[in-house]
Structure 1
Amino acid sequence: MFSIFLPSLIHVFIFTGLFILIGALKTKSLWAKISLVAFILCAISLIFLPVHSEFNFITNLKLQENYHSFEKINQTLINFFSDNSNTVFTSTIGIQIMRFIAFAYTYHYLNWFSKTSIIQ
């Protein structure tokens, strides 16, 4: 599990959250604290908000092929949260985990790109 999560979700989500926290504590800015709370609430809501059944299946094979590199992370998280072996693309928990991972990576990269353009 460590070898799967360290280069992925720990690096991308946990470290990003810690950098936001450090920035909020360092600047003591209200907006920085609000940013941290929004980051956490978005992540939690993407995992726990229900999935609408009409969007519950990802059938586009090209999409599944492109998502293949994240499939092991998804399956490990599905097995961690659920006793049964759900598939990544056709289960509710699979969709919820995909939403969370998409948010974590998107936020991480947007945050990283904004920092590099500001800091140069």
Structure 2
Amino acid sequence: MINIIGVGSCPSRGMDKGGVNDLESVVKCVQRAIDQAELMADCQISSVYLALSGKHISCQNEIGMVPISEEEVTQDDVENVVHTAKSVRVRDEHRVLHVIPQEYAIDYQEGIKTR
């Protein structure tokens, strides 16, 4: 069961045809919606999931590989492979917003879970 305890909304500002044309206005609008939801729920919101789409946003999948000398994979190994995967060259007008590891493999054995 899902129990919704607070919601907030704001008329769309700073966006046109699905694209952001005024980031400051978008941020203010999102903050207004958060403030409303916090007031209704009588709690403080610590994180928000926000999705924006448009021609200016794209996704790409990359693979990172690093040699591992020890028997056990360490956190440093995981960080190194993520760093390798996100070190791809992007066009000058593009920026990497975030990296989301999808899966890990060891010796081509796929589907390794992290703890």
Could you tell me the TM-score, scaled by structure 1's length? 0.27
Bigger share in helix: 1
Between 1 and 2, higher relative CO (CA 8 Å, sep ≥ 6) is seen in 1
Structure of greater Rg:
2
Bigger share in strand: 2
Could you tell me the TM-score, scaled by structure 2's length? 0.28
